[in-house]
Amino acid sequence: ETGVTQSPTHLIKTRGQQVTLRCSSQSGHNTVSWYQQALGQGPQFIFQYYREEENGRGNFPPRFSGLQFPNYSSELNVNALELDDSALYLCASSPGTGSGNTIYFGEGSWLTVV
Amino acid sequence: DQQVKQNSPSLSVQEGRISILNCDYTNSMFDYFLWYKKYPAEGPTFLISISSIKDKNEDGRFTVFLNKSAKHLSLHIVPSQPGDSAVYFCAASPTLFGGATNKLIFGTGTLLAVQP
């Protein structure tokens, strides 16, 4: 077990709705990243938060947004849900932003958009 | 453009034998490589990593080899056990990204089945 916890584990939303996913990072880790994993694919980087600021973003539209709180926990918000947003959303934490820091993943939140 | 490629979607190995999982990458800016194992309905679990300044890293039954000139890395599992059956992802981290972000770029995974 990595110590990275995510909630909820499963949820179903309707197209056009909004969703918030939550993540608590591993103790001592100040950097949180979010990834989207579609069926049959590897995880795709959405964005990273460090010290409550977005610190890098992948190729995802602005309707994907996030927050990091002073205790380093984080939220991923997705507005105007589309069917293609159905995926496993993974939160990952690391003790820093530098390359070479091992990144640990939570169990993920399964989102189904109908 | 797939910067990290795992060309074998699946691999079947007998228990006790060696499992070799391969990964190729295209971006010479990648300087840190990781392998993750993933069971269904769970998040990826970190296995082993290697920095670009090394060509080999070993941890118990797991060894990762890096060939920078060929932009190729491999994960060796010896001896393979039925509990190793899972999807294995290769991931790479670039040196620089925006304000120094250790984002990971993943391959599509290889499903390893270890037969008893």
Per-residue pLDDT for chain A (114 aa), expressed as one digit of tens each? 568 999 999 999 999 999 999 999 988 888 999 999 998 899 999 999 988 999 889 999 999 999 999 999 999 999 999 999 999 999 999 887 776 778 899 999 999 999
Query: Is the CB of residue B110 less than 8 Å from the CB of residue B10?
Result: yes
Amino acid letter for position B50: I
Other CB atoms within 10 Å distance of the CB of residue A23: 27
**A90 vs chain B: nearest CA distance in angstroms?**
7
Contact criterion met (CB < 8 Å) for B98 and A101:
no
Q: What is the pLDDT of residue B100?
A: 53
B103-109 average pLDDT score: 92
The answer to whether the Cβ–Cβ distance between B104 and A41 falls below 8 Å is no
What confidence tens digit (pLDDT) does each residue in A48-60 have?
A: 998 899 988 999 9
B1 in contact with A at a CB cutoff of 8 Å?
A: no
Mean pLDDT to the nearest integer, B55-84: 97
Q: How many helices (H) and strands (E) does chain A have?
A: 0, 11
Neighbours of A29 (CB within 10 A): 20
Average pLDDT of chain A, as a whole number: 92
Whether the CB of B97 is below 8 Å from some CB of chain A: the reply is yes
> Strand, coil or helix: what is A15?
coil
pLDDT at B99: 45
Mean pLDDT of chain B: 91
Residue type at B74?
S
Binary contact (A100, B106; C-beta < 8 A): no
